[in-house]
Amino acid sequence: MTRLADLVRAGDRAALGRAITLIESKRADHEASAQDLLHALLPDTGNAMRIGMTGVPGAGKSTIIDAIGSRLTGEGHKVAVLAVDPTSQRTGGSILGDKTRMTRLSVDPNAFIRPSPAGATLGGVARRTRETMLVCEAAGYDIIIVETVGVGQSETTVAAMVDFFAVLQVAGAGDELQGIKKGVIEIADLIVVNKADGDNIKRAEQAVGEYRAALHILTPAHPLWRPRALALSALKETGLDEFWATTQEFFATMRQVGAIEEKRSAQQVGWMWALLEDRMRLIVARHPALKTRLPELEAAVRAGEMTPTLAVSEITSALGLDL
């Protein structure tokens, strides 16, 4: 592990790949080694700009990331692109296509693209991606982009592991403005309207105006940052400078007051409790005394034939955990 840690720190791509494979493995001994490795690497983590991006397939995530990412590597940055896709197990990894869609980054020595780990639960997928992010930071990647297609709660999950969260919308998908998924506008630091090109520009600008109006009535998550909205064209590569300038402005503003560190500390503790809850659910579901009983309890509660309080008491007793 010490040797692997050294190689990762040295930026050895093969070692980075091995480390991530270890993190993604479900073998108990691998999980233990992965934790040893992470523990050794922790002091070298936290030095990247952690950027999250969500958008439906076809919104242009890969094109935007490829364009901006290759500019950044051109400026001497090292860029890692990770993905969170809770369906990747079933679909075999809908993000696997990234490598082929990110034509520039995929051949860029200063870029590292990793598809979503497979996993039974979003929590499991997220844990692996978070830990992969840490290893990438230790390997010297100073810009981490985590993308998600926005299945289930994946946007909230990704927002909870990054510093800055961008929501990619598409203008011109019919006359109706593309609705923002429940809960997502709350976590957006920036709303990006793509496909502002050709005869779509007016519609895109109008969409930006409507999103701004909506953001305006929400109390910002941080007093120093009122979420923005802007239009761009990934196809024509227009508006990318503004996108990146806004991102940098966010980090500059937040770093001044130590808000990034604060946010990360809170995210880490939140992550710990989320993991514990995940683990507890697994323990409850697998416990011999509950394996068959839990579905019955859930059904009774769902049908309103049993109070949740009673069901919970039975569960904690079965676990031998009464207060």
Q: Given the rule CB under 8 A, which residues bind a copy of itself?
A: 35, 38-39, 42, 45-46, 127, 131, 134, 177, 179-183, 185-186, 210-211, 213-214, 216-219, 221, 264-266, 268-269, 271-273, 275-277, 279-284, 286, 297-298, 301-313, 315-316, 319-321, 323
Is the Cβ–Cβ distance between 8 and 19 less than 8 Å? yes
Rounded to a whole number of angstroms, the minimum distance from the CB of residue 256 to a copy of itself is 20
Nearer to a copy of itself, 38 or 170 (CB): 38
CA distances in angstroms from 21 to 3, 106, 116, 173, 245, listed in the order given: 16, 19, 12, 39, 34
Nearer to a copy of itself, 42 or 107 (CB): 42
Strands 111-114 and 164-170, bridge-based pairing: unpaired
Main-chain phi, psi angles of 142, to 5 degrees: -105, 0
Using CA atoms, how far apart are residues 293 and 222, in angstroms rounded to an integer?
Answer: 44
Rounded to a whole number of angstroms, the minimum distance from the CB of residue 227 to a copy of itself is 11
Rounded to a whole number of angstroms, the minimum distance from the CB of residue 311 to a copy of itself is 5
Nearer to a copy of itself, 3 or 302 (CB): 302
Rounded to a whole number of angstroms, the minimum distance from the CB of residue 248 to a copy of itself is 23
Nearer to a copy of itself, 215 or 235 (CB): 215
Rounded to a whole number of angstroms, the minimum distance from the CB of residue 312 to a copy of itself is 5
Nearer to a copy of itself, 65 or 203 (CB): 203
Nearer to a copy of itself, 107 or 312 (CB): 312
Chain centre to alpha carbon of residue 62: 15
- Token digits for 36? 């040893």
CA distances in angstroms from 307 to 53, 193, 296, 321, listed in the order given: 40, 46, 13, 19
Rounded to a whole number of angstroms, the minimum distance from the CB of residue 192 to a copy of itself is 14
Which residues share a beta bridge with 194?
170
- Token digits for 213? 């109006």
